[in-house]
Structures are given as structure tokens and as C-alpha cells.
Amino acid sequence: MSPLKIEQGTSRHSAYDLRASFAEIQESHTLAVIVDNEPGVLARVIGLFSGRGYNIESLTVAETDHAGHRSRITIVTTGTPQVIEQIKAQLGRMVPVHEVHDLTVEGPAVQRELALFKVVGRGEARIEALRLAEIFRANVVDSTLQSFVFEITGNSEKIDAFAELIRPLGLKEMARTGAAALARGG
Amino acid sequence: MREMTGAKMVVQALRDQGVEVVFGYPGGAVLPIYDELFLQNDIRHILVRHEQGAVHAAEGYARSTGRPGVVLVTSGPGATNAVTGIVDALMDSIPIVVLTGQVPTFMVGTDAFQEADTVGITRPCTKHNWLVRDTDRLAETIHQAFHVAVSGRPGPVLVDIPKDVQFATGTYLPPARARTDHYRPRTEGDPAQILRLVEAIEEAERPVFYTGGGVINAGPEASRLLRALVDATGFPVTSTLMGLGAYPASGRHWLGMLGMHGLYEANLAMHGADLMINVGARFDDRITGRIKDFSPGSRKAHIDIDPSSINKVIRTDIPILGDAGRVLAEVLRIWSERGARTRREAVAAWWDEIGRWRRVDCLAYRASATTIKPQFALQRLEAATRGMDRYLTTDVGQHQMWAAQFLGLEAPNRWMTSGGLGTMGYGLPASIGVQVAHPEALVINVSGDASWLMNVQEMGTAAQFRLPVKQFILNNERLGMVRQWQQLLHGERYSQSWSESLPDFVRLAESFGARGIRCDNPAELDGAIAAMLAHPGPVVFDCVVEKHENCFPMIPSGKPHNEMLLGEARTEGAIGAAGAVLV
Ligand SMILES: Cc1ncc(C[n+]2csc(CCOP(=O)(O)OP(=O)(O)O)c2C)c(N)n1
């Protein structure tokens, strides 16, 4: 599929590049939405998803262009191909939305999440947790005699895998961000 | 650059936007703006009796003129009362600019008196809305609001203005300097897709144009181009409720309205077509019926200005994103340049088939010499007013569908009805807005007894401003459309679908200083209608009609187009349990 850069009020994505038929399979897509950083813009985007019954798997937002007051909202969503196209069209026609990128179809992209894990324990479990952290390239960002806080970045599968393994080793608490994603290459 | 208060800026911005009339209702949070309105004479203010009425009036004004309607209301209850009208305008793509007062910025969030989170409440029911916190930003925001309301697919916008922002002084920015460049929806269709449509027109054997409110929103030129293209190709044309008038009802290729209560020939043409050309309609569920069986054999072209309308519910083969008028002009030009070819013989055979459907005479009803049949009442109204400079509004229910079936629309912008939201109470205030815009024209609201009472207070507005609107109420003493569904779907259990304790409409009219006319005899109907038309002021016409008449044809919810109920058909048990779930 051709690279997409969906400008305001266009529908190259939905109208011109629609797949052969309305398939029923659920797909996961990562969307990058460039918006004016104005009050209420996040509520607007979230309200679109809840109001029309679309899924949000994760959502990350921050101002990425301070001079232009633009924010980048990264949304991981799931739906049938038709629903995904609708979501992009609905986002694209919102007044404060400048661009909608579907990183899942625009080409290869890197996607990262960040998570913090607090692990409490002593003895063998504590050593095992450190060893695991090393394998997953997690950093120790806080330590006491009976606890560690690990910081890990990666795609969601990697973080899921780390969480799975660390759980029996005294996992106390975990905090996790949504995804940040960028297309690869120039 | 001029320094002025925010309140003055509001009035100046409206003036610079060419606004001549504002529909509104005052209150504490908009007093500074009302003070400025008092001090000038350029902008007229129509005082409604309820804020919902202000929005519907602005909708009537907008739809009948093609210019945005403007509403001014206070904070809290003023804003919440306007919400129904705002949603109505969103669903029907009507450009409306709503200005609301808000508590002062330093009190926002404190549950202050008459504080409501207006931008929060109206976020999902506007195209866009703004809370203005700085007087220096006020003028630009209002100009942007007008730009957004009318650009692309039109719709309602709202600007929430705290009272301290109205009092404070700032710099006025004229419209030409307001930043509006980033919201520029695309209006030119893709030439490659337009060419595909032209080729499809050349090849089609059973074509049909399916047109909607988008043609009307695209301006009178779009309607003219539609007529030109339809008449040049000789293809049949049908329209949604919202698109009536874009192609004239007296036109040779007119099939009548389609959809749930559309004409037999229109729906069967949609069902049997091999090429469907959708211009500015959105495949609403009242049109498609069961999606799976919707026009199964047709290639579908869809011309729409809103990218989210394309492929939303029905898969489109030839999607053309753009302004209906511009795209139609291109289609007509390219098709003509290529020799204006169609499959004439095949299309003639298609017309023969349509002719057979027409002979079913789907609007036939059993006449009566003793009671006024609602269809008969509208036929007589049509006979008496056809050819006049006439604007029609309706409420919601059976009368609305009968009006669409029996009143012929010859031109765009002459038909105001609540289509998408189906808002009972729309008709009277909408007729007021239309009459304000067209003081000399004949404005008739075809209403039902129940709908009409929902905004009856606006008779005060009609009387105060001497707006000679004609309220033609088909009084069946029932919530007729509800009763019809209960009869057909719910075993004739008429739960709460009576209009009990109806007022005496004649005396009610007189109490507002209007004229009241009651008629229950078919033989006297023509004379009574003539009296209504002759009266120079507002009239409430209580047309007492058959109580249990059903509106046919009807495609029950969840059924395909070719499973339509006709008037004489046995209707009990016609709709399955699956259909009963749908609305
Ligand atoms: C505000 C609102 N409430 C409820 C409904 C549901 N509804 C649709 S038609 C109808 C009955 C309308 O009765 P009337 O105005 O007398 O018209 P009739 O159908 O009898 O012609 C009702 C209650 C609605 N459309 N709008």
C-alpha cells in the first residue's frame, strides 16, 4: 500500500486505498496524529473513540513542536480494516488535526513503550531479578536493600515478557506508558 | 487595529461577517453583548421563547438562505437548552454559529451560578467549539468559527465567551486577518475517479442518481448542474428526505423520495440498479434498509465532501471526494466532451421497468367523504399553494413523511425538515427562521399535534415579530408514527401513543394573537385552506384527520428494499423480531 500522509480533509486512505472487501479480521494499528496543542484537544480525540465505539489499546501524548504548539498523539487501536479507515477519516476531519499517519501501513516503524517495575525481595529472588533485568537490558533506577525499580523500554511484547518473568520474583507495582512510534528511515 | 470591549467585538465581528439577524435569548452571562446589541441598528435580534427554538430558527434561516444562522444564548441553562438544536444541525449539516455566555474565567470550575461545562457538553455535537479566555483572541475566534461552520461539510460551531472577556478591552481583528488557512477541506474531485464515473455512465444499463442534502449544501449551482446532468443523461433520479428540491418534482426523470417511506419505484430502482450515483447523501439506515441486501447488483459511485462518509457503511466502487457542484461540473464536462454517450436502448428498457413499478401507484390511499385523510389534506394544500413562492418546514412523524410524498419541491432551499436527528418540535421555530429570512414568502409548517406542542411557545415569537407563518397541523390525536409502529411491530398495544388533553388549537392561537382555523370536513377543506392563505398574519390550522391512517409504502427496519409494505397489504406480523430491535 502506498505511503500515507493524510492531510486535512483528504481521504486518500479511505476512499482510494481501501482493500478489496470489508474483511472481518481485527487488526492492530498504530496511528500518529499531529494536532494543535489547544485545550480540549485530547478530550476531543478520546471522545471520538468512545462516542463511536472504537478501541484504544494505548495512547501517548505530548507536545512535540513547542514553537508550532503541535502535539503528537500516538494511538494503538484495533478494529476491522473498515473501522480503521473510518477512524482515520474521522480523525482527519477534526479541525485541530493536521496530519494522521497510519504507521502500521506506511512502512516499517519503530515502536517503543517504557515501563517501571518495583520488585521487592531478598536472597536468591533478588539476584535472579537482577539477572533477568540484565538480559532484558532493563536499568536499575532505584535500589534499596530489599527493592529495585527497573526501567525498561521496548515494544509491548518485550515488556509483557519481562512482566511475566519478573512477577514471581516479587513484583510489587508496575507503571507503563503507551506507545511512542516513528516511521523508519528518512 | 481597534481597541474595544469584548462585547463590542462580538457585534463588530458579526457585522463584518455579514450577519443581519441573530436568534437569541438573554441572561446574566451575555448581558454585555445584549447591551451592545441595544446600542446599534445593523443587526436584528429575534427574541425566541426557548433556546431550542433559537437554534431551530437559525437552522431554518440557514437552510433557506445558504448563509450561516447565528444564535446567542446565556450560560448554563441557556446553553443546555440549545443542545438539541445543535445536534440537529450537526446531523443535517446545517451551518450554525452559536455564541454562549459563560461565567467569568476566574469562576470557571467553581460550580458558579449558571455555570455549565458548555464546551465539554457540546464537544461531540459541534464541528468545533472554543472557550475564549482572552479578549484579544475573541474576534479571531469568531471569524474562525464562521469559517469552520461553512467550509467543507457545513455544521454547527460554538464559541463560549466568559463574562469578564466580554467586559475587558482588547484589539479587534478584522476577518481578512484571521488565520483560517489550516482548515481547508478539499473540494476538487480526483480526475481519475471522475473519469471512472464518466465511463460507468457510458456503460450503465440500469443507472440511478441517488442525491442528498449535500447537493443543497453545495449551493444552487450544484442543483442546476444536477438537473443538467440528469436531463442530459436521461437517467432516473431519486433523493433522500434532505435532498428534496435539488431536482424538481415536476422534472421528467424524477422518481420521488426513496427510503423507509419512499416511493416504490424509487426503492426498486435502487434495488435493481447496475450503477448508483450517490451525490451528497450518506447511506443512512433509513435509506439502505438491510445493508447486506442493499442494491446488490450495482456499482456504487459516491460524491461527498466528507471523507468519513465514504465507505462508512456501504462499500463504494468509485469514491469521489469533493464539492458536489464542482464534481458534477467536471463529470458533465468530461462526459459531454467524450460524446455524451449512454446506452440509450438499455436505459429506455430500464425506464419501461420503472414505469411498471410506477403503475403500482404506491401512494394510493382509500379516500373518504366524511373524514379528512391526511394524504388528502396535503394534496389539497399542494393544489392551493403550488407555484407560489413557498417554503415548507415540517415536524417529525407520519405528517413529515406524507409531506415529503405529497408536496412537490421544485427548487433547493425550500424544504426544511429534521432528517438525521428527527427532532419533534423543529417545525415551528424553523418556519420562524425561514420567514425572518423571506418576509414576503409563504412559509408553511406541516406538523402533527404532538410535535407542534413541543415548541408551541414560539407562537409568541411569531406574533411579536409579525411573522405570518402558517402552522398546518395534521391532528390525529395520536403520536401517529409511534402508533403505527406499535400496530405493526408490537401487537397493537398502543402504549402511551395518545395525545390526551390536547388544547383547543383555535383558542390557543387566538390567545397568542394569531388566527386559528379548525377543519374536520373534507368538503370544507379547500375553503379553510384559502382562508389560511388569505390571512396576513400567523395562522394555526387544526386539520382534524383520520386517526389510524398508516404511512405507506414502508420498508420495515431490517428489511431490504424489495420487501416493502404497500398500503393495501396485510401488515400484521410483517416485521420479524429482528426488525423490531431496530429503530
Ligand atoms: C423529541 C422527540 N421525542 C420523541 C420522538 C419519537 N417520535 C417520533 S414520531 C413521534 C410521534 C409524532 O406525533 P405527531 O407529531 O402527532 O405526528 P404524527 O406522527 O401523528 O403525524 C414520536 C413520539 C421524536 N422523534 N422526537
Give pLDDT tens digits for B185-239. 889 999 999 999 999 999 999 999 999 999 999 999 999 999 999 999 999 999 9
pLDDT at residue B569 is higher than 60: no
CA gap A86, B314 in Å, rounded: 12
Residues of chain A with pLDDT under 50: 1-21
Amino acid B574: pLDDT: 52
DSSP characters over B388-441: SSEEEEE-SSHHHHHHHHHSPP-STT-EE---SS--TT-HHHHHHHHHHH-TTS
Q: Which residue has the cell 403503475?
A: B359
Residue A156 lies in a domain: yes
Distance from Cα A83 to the centre of ligand 1, integer Å: 33
pLDDT at residue B393 is higher than 70: yes
Which ligand 1 atom sits nearest the alpha carbon of residue B481?
A: 19
Cell digits for B4? 474595544
Amino acid B582: pLDDT: 66
Q: Specify the number of domains making up chain A.
A: 2
> Which residue in B545, B543, B532 sits closest to B444, CA to CA?
B532
CA gap A73, B473 in Å, rounded: 52
Q: Do A8 and B183 touch (CB under 8 A)?
A: yes
Residue A74 lies in a domain: yes
Contact list in B for residue A96 (CB cut-off 8 A) is 128
Which ligand 1 atom sits nearest the alpha carbon of residue B474?
A: 21
Give pLDDT tens digits for B490-500. 999 999 999 98
Q: Do B321 and A96 touch (CB under 8 A)?
A: no
Three-state DSSP at B157 gives strand
- Nearest chain A alpha carbon to B312: A86
CA gap B426, B409 in Å, rounded: 19
> Which residue in B117, B71, B123 sits closest to B94, CA to CA?
B71
Based on the fold, state whether residues A94 and A114 are members of the same structural domain. Answer: no
Q: From the candidates A93, A94, A98, which should be mutated to test the interface with B, based on the most B CB atoms within 10 A? A: A93
Based on the fold, state whether residues A118 and A166 are members of the same structural domain. Answer: yes
Q: Which of B119, B128, B316 sits opposite A95 (nearest CB)?
A: B128
DSSP collapsed to 3 states, B450-519: HHHHHCHHHHHHHHHCCCCCEEEEEECCECHHHHHHHHHHCCCCCCCCECCCCCCHHHHHHHCCCEEEEE
Three-state DSSP at A17 gives coil
- Flag whether residue A89 sits within 8 Å of chain B, measured between CB atoms: yes
* Element at A99 (helix H, strand E): strand A97-102
CA gap B234, B232 in Å, rounded: 6
Contact list in A for residue B120 (CB cut-off 8 A) is 40, 43
Within B189-253, strands assigned E span: 207-211, 237-239
Q: What is the sign of the dihedral through the CA atoms of B9, B13, B19 and B23?
A: negative
Query: At B115, phi and psi to the nearest 5?
Result: -90, 130
Torsion on CA atoms A77, A80, A82, A87, rounded to nearest 10: -10
DSSP collapsed to 3 states, B276-294: EEEECCCCCHHHHCCHHHC
Distance from Cα B499 to the centre of ligand 1, integer Å: 11
Give pLDDT tens digits for B141-184. 999 999 999 999 999 999 999 999 999 999 999 999 999 888 99
Contact A63, A69 (CB under 8 A): yes
Based on the fold, state whether residues A128 and A73 are members of the same structural domain. Answer: no
Mutate to test the pocket of ligand 1, among B476, B482, B499 (most ligand atoms within 8 A of CB): B482
Mean pLDDT for B85-107 is: 98
Based on the fold, state whether residues A81 and A42 are members of the same structural domain. Answer: yes
Amino acid B568: pLDDT: 64
Residue A176 lies in a domain: yes
Contact list in A for residue B316 (CB cut-off 8 A) is 15
> Which residue in B313, B434, B399, B425 sits closest to B87, CA to CA?
B425
Q: Work out the pLDDT band at B562, boundaries 50, 70, 90.
A: confident
Q: Nearest residue CA, atom 9 of ligand 1?
A: B397
Residue B51 is a catalytic residue: yes
CA gap B101, B115 in Å, rounded: 10
Q: Which of A9, A40, A85 sits opposite B186 (nearest CB)?
A: A9
pLDDT at residue B67 is higher than 50: yes
Amino acid B293: pLDDT: 87
Number of C-beta neighbours around residue A165 at 10 A = 15
Distance from Cα B397 to the centre of ligand 1, integer Å: 5
Residue B242 is a catalytic residue: no
CA gap B335, B157 in Å, rounded: 38
Amino acid B560: pLDDT: 82
Q: Do B184 and A9 touch (CB under 8 A)?
A: yes
Distances in whole angstroms, Cα of residue B113 to Cα of each of B31, B100, B101, B108 = 15, 15, 12, 10
Three-state DSSP at A128 gives helix
Residue B113 is a catalytic residue: yes
Based on the fold, state whether residues A93 and A115 are members of the same structural domain. Answer: no
Q: Which residue has the cell 407520519?
A: B398
Residue A85 lies in a domain: yes
CA gap B69, B65 in Å, rounded: 9
Chain center to CA of B75 = 27
Question: What separation, in Å, do the N-terminal and C-terminal C-alpha atoms of chain B show?
Answer: 55
Based on the fold, state whether residues A123 and A93 are members of the same structural domain. Answer: no
- Flag whether residue A39 sits within 8 Å of chain B, measured between CB atoms: yes
Contact B428, B461 (CB under 8 A): no
Q: Which domain holds residue A73?
A: 27-102
Which ligand 1 atom sits nearest the alpha carbon of residue B402?
A: 21
CA gap B327, A182 in Å, rounded: 36
Q: Nearest residue CA, atom 20 of ligand 1?
A: B480
Based on the fold, state whether residues A92 and A116 are members of the same structural domain. Answer: no
* Element at B11 (helix H, strand E): helix B6-16
CA gap A124, A122 in Å, rounded: 7
- Nearest chain A alpha carbon to B307: A11
- Flag whether residue A44 sits within 8 Å of chain B, measured between CB atoms: yes
% of chain B beyond a pLDDT of 90: 91
DSSP assignment, residue B360? Answer: T
Q: Work out the pLDDT band at B561, boundaries 50, 70, 90.
A: confident
Among B8, B127, B163, B373, the one annotated catalytic: B163
Q: Work out the pLDDT band at B581, boundaries 50, 70, 90.
A: low
Q: A28 vs chain B: nearest CA distance in angstroms?
A: 19
C-beta pairs of B343-347 under 8 Å, 24+ apart in sequence: B343/B202, B343/B203, B343/B204, B343/B205, B344/B234, B346/B204, B346/B205, B346/B206, B347/B204, B347/B205, B347/B206, B347/B207, B347/B234, B347/B235
CA gap A135, B470 in Å, rounded: 81
Give pLDDT tens digits for B512-533. 999 999 999 999 999 999 999 9
Residue A51 lies in a domain: yes
Domain boundary at A76, A102, A128, which?
Answer: A102
Query: At B119, phi and psi to the nearest 5?
Result: -70, -35
Q: What is the CATH number of the domain that holds A168?
A: 3.30.70.1150
Q: Which of A9, A44, A85 sits opposite B311 (nearest CB)?
A: A85
pLDDT at residue B580 is higher than 70: no
Q: Do A98 and B182 touch (CB under 8 A)?
A: yes
Distance from Cα B63 to the centre of ligand 1, integer Å: 22
Domain boundary at A72, A102, A132, which?
Answer: A102
Based on the fold, state whether residues A98 and A116 are members of the same structural domain. Answer: no
Contact B214, B281 (CB under 8 A): yes
Q: From the candidates B311, B316, B323, which should be mutated to test the interface with A, based on the most A CB atoms within 10 A? A: B311
Q: Which residue has the cell 459516491?
A: B302
Q: Work out the pLDDT band at B567, boundaries 50, 70, 90.
A: confident
Amino acid B181: pLDDT: 84
Provide CB contacts within 8 A for B90, sequence distance 6+. Answer: B125, B126, B127, B155, B156, B420
Which ligand 1 atom sits nearest the alpha carbon of residue B476?
A: 20
Q: Nearest residue CA, atom 2 of ligand 1?
A: B424
Among B113, B388, B510, B524, the one annotated catalytic: B113
> Which residue in B39, B31, B141, B137 sits closest to B75, CA to CA?
B31
Residue A80 lies in a domain: yes
Amino acid A158: pLDDT: 96
Residue A20 lies in a domain: no
Contact B556, B565 (CB under 8 A): yes
Give pLDDT tens digits for B543-559. 999 999 999 999 887 78
> Which residue in B135, B184, B190 sits closest to B159, CA to CA?
B135
CA gap B120, A45 in Å, rounded: 13
Based on the fold, state whether residues A86 and A118 are members of the same structural domain. Answer: no
Contact B209, B235 (CB under 8 A): yes
Domain boundary at A102, A120, A135, which?
Answer: A102
Based on the fold, state whether residues A86 and A119 are members of the same structural domain. Answer: no
Contact B459, B530 (CB under 8 A): no
Contact B91, B421 (CB under 8 A): yes
Amino acid A6: pLDDT: 38
Residue B454 is a catalytic residue: no
Based on the fold, state whether residues A70 and A96 are members of the same structural domain. Answer: yes
Cell digits for A114? 517504557
Mutate to test the pocket of ligand 1, among B479, B496, B545 (most ligand atoms within 8 A of CB): B479
Q: What is the CATH number of the domain that holds A93?
A: 3.30.70.260
Based on the fold, state whether residues A115 and A93 are members of the same structural domain. Answer: no
> Which residue in B433, B197, B415, B476 sits closest to B322, CA to CA?
B197
Amino acid B290: pLDDT: 85
Question: Residues enclosing ligand 1, CB less than 6 A?
Answer: B 395-399, 422-424, 448-451, 474, 476, 478-482
Contact list in B for residue A4 (CB cut-off 8 A) is none
Residue A165 lies in a domain: yes
Mean pLDDT computed over every residue of chain B: 95
Which ligand 1 atom sits nearest the alpha carbon of residue B399?
A: 21
